[in-house]
Chains A and B, each alone.
Chain A
Amino acid sequence: MNYIEHVGKYFLMLGQVFKRPQKLSVFKDALFREIEDLGLKSLGIVAFIAFFVGGVIAIQTALNLESPIIPKYLIGFATKRAMILEFAPTFASIILAGKVGSFITSSIGTMRVTEQIDALEVMGINSLNYLVFPKIIAAVFFYPLLVILAMFLGIFGGWLAGLLTGLFHSVDYIDGIQLDFDPFLLQYATIKAIVFAFVIATIPSYHGYYVKGGSLEVGRASTQAVVWTSVVIILLNYFLTQMLLG
């Protein structure tokens, strides 16, 4: 199957996904389960990575600012900008593409090869709507919160790194954070997070839902899903940056 056929099949899949849930109480249960699986269980890894990435950005910026005429508050400013613009929305999404994407593909793929999806269809349930729609809603509403948390933790990580290494003063760093604050950048990061969340929920679902074969194929599909989700995130990141900031 060529790429264009995959793209067409992906959009046809979305057509089945975006239908009214057959039973709201069942949808609600599924939604809470997905919020836990896709969102809450990713909190730890996102927080951990954001905290240390923030610290590394601050240390590297400090070590590269050799000129005495460049003010030290630029360390806080650079850390804030890097975290808000790129590291929190894009870096966190790439991490989630790996962690959550492989989970989605393997869980749906296993359901496919063990005939659980056929069981849903035989019962008269729209399996795509039942399986994928709650994942999209959970991701689109929860990931922006994760990204905002990553921003705060990254900036905090940078501040703590300065405190521990003595490379810059706390006051300079806080001045830098407060300098030239543009609320639109938060909107930009949130828009990116929502778009990437949609990609993270749907591309791995596509790979899992249409898998054929056995456990080996499910494994291969998971790898494919992570690769394609990451590629699409990187491409969309470029286009969104161009559209929103260019």
Chain B
Amino acid sequence: MIQVKDLHKSFGDAHILKGIDATFERGKTSLIIGQSGSGKTVFLKSLLGLHSPEQGIISFDGNISKEMNVDQKRQLRQEIGMVFQGSALFDSLTVEENIMFPVKMFTNQPASEMRDRVHTVLKRVNLPDAHQKFPAELSGGMQKRVAIARAIVMNPKYLFCDEPNSGLDPKTAIVIDNLIQEITSEYQITTVINTHDMNSVMEIGEKIIFLQDGLKAWEGSHKEIFKTDNESVVNFVYSSNLFKKVRQSYLNESNS
């Protein structure tokens, strides 16, 4: 479980995060949504330790990150998996080498065991035959799956995903969403996803946090988001006519 209390972060005069409280539970997929510039990426990067917040507490299963020493921080980093928006696979390495990279760096396993582990996770993300290919030879969806494989190869306790569906067609996006949700539940990972994709919100949002101007403006599940009367959430989530109609029909069904 990840707990965040009163998180503040500024860049110069720009106060981006203005005191966010949030809890992300183990085995659940939590989504952070909000308009561009609402502070989602800064929030995610603060959780990852890529930004240092000026104020506030981030704790991972009770361990407060700013009280950790260098070794504890290094240990924590090994328990974190991250799927970047653009996959961030290492161009010069093959799929197998990409996934093997953290294993090679942090364990002393023999090469055969490392390869077995890589092949197991590749099978898990439905890419059993891609190990000798380079990232440039893969489609966007395949690259995302390799990025997920790399993120889970160290059996992380925490999984962070930044816009995992950006640039993907709707069908592939659903495959990726489902894969993340299955992995979260199967390995009991605390998963936090930054997204703009409203399909993801409806499909896998077990917990949704809506950020607005650096503050948490709403929190609930994908079922509750249909019923909310929070104007900012409604304007953001149901900005398209299609989603407005979907919501209206859901509300009509619930009332009848």
- A-side residues, CB < 8 A to B, are 22-23, 25-26, 33, 110-111, 114-116, 118-119, 121-125
Contacts and interface: CB of A to CB of B under 8 A. Distances in A.
Contacts of A122: 48-50, 77, 80, 82, 160
* 4 tightest Cβ-Cβ pairs between the two chains A and B: A124-B77, A115-B88, A119-B88, A122-B82
Contacts of A124: 73-74, 76-78, 106
A25 B100 CA distance: 13
Given A121-B50, A122-B50, A122-B77, A114 B105 contact: no
Given A25-B104, A26-B104, A116-B91, A123 B77 contact: yes
B102 interface: yes
Contacts of B106: 23, 124
A110, A119, A121 pick with most chain B CB within 10 angstroms: A119
28 contacts: A23-B104, A23-B105, A25-B104, A26-B104, A33-B92, A111-B90, A114-B86, A115-B84, A115-B86, A115-B88, A116-B88, A116-B89, A116-B90, A118-B50, A118-B88, A119-B82, A119-B90, A121-B50, A122-B49, A122-B50, A122-B77, A122-B82, A122-B160, A123-B77, A123-B102, A124-B77, A124-B78, A125-B105
Interface in B59-113: 73-74, 76-78, 80, 82, 84-86, 88-92, 101-102, 104-106
Contacts of B84: 115, 118-119
A41 to B, nearest CB: 14
Nearest to A122: B82
A25 B104 CA distance: 8
Q: Is the interface of B mostly helix, strand, loop or mixed?
A: mixed
Contacts of A115: 84-86, 88
A110 B86 CA distance: 12
Interface of B: 48-50, 73-74, 76-78, 80, 82, 84-86, 88-92, 101-102, 104-106, 160
B200 to A, nearest CB: 20
A123 B78 contact: yes
Nearest to A124: B77
Contacts of B91: 110-111, 114, 116
B76, B91, B92, B105 pick with most chain A CB within 10 angstroms: B105
A111 B74 CA distance: 22
B191 to A, nearest CB: 15
A202 B220 CA distance: 50
B85 A22 contact: no
A66 to B, nearest CB: 55
Contacts of A123: 77-78, 101-102, 105
A125 B106 CA distance: 10
Contact of B88 (A22, A23, A114): A114
B140 to A, nearest CB: 13
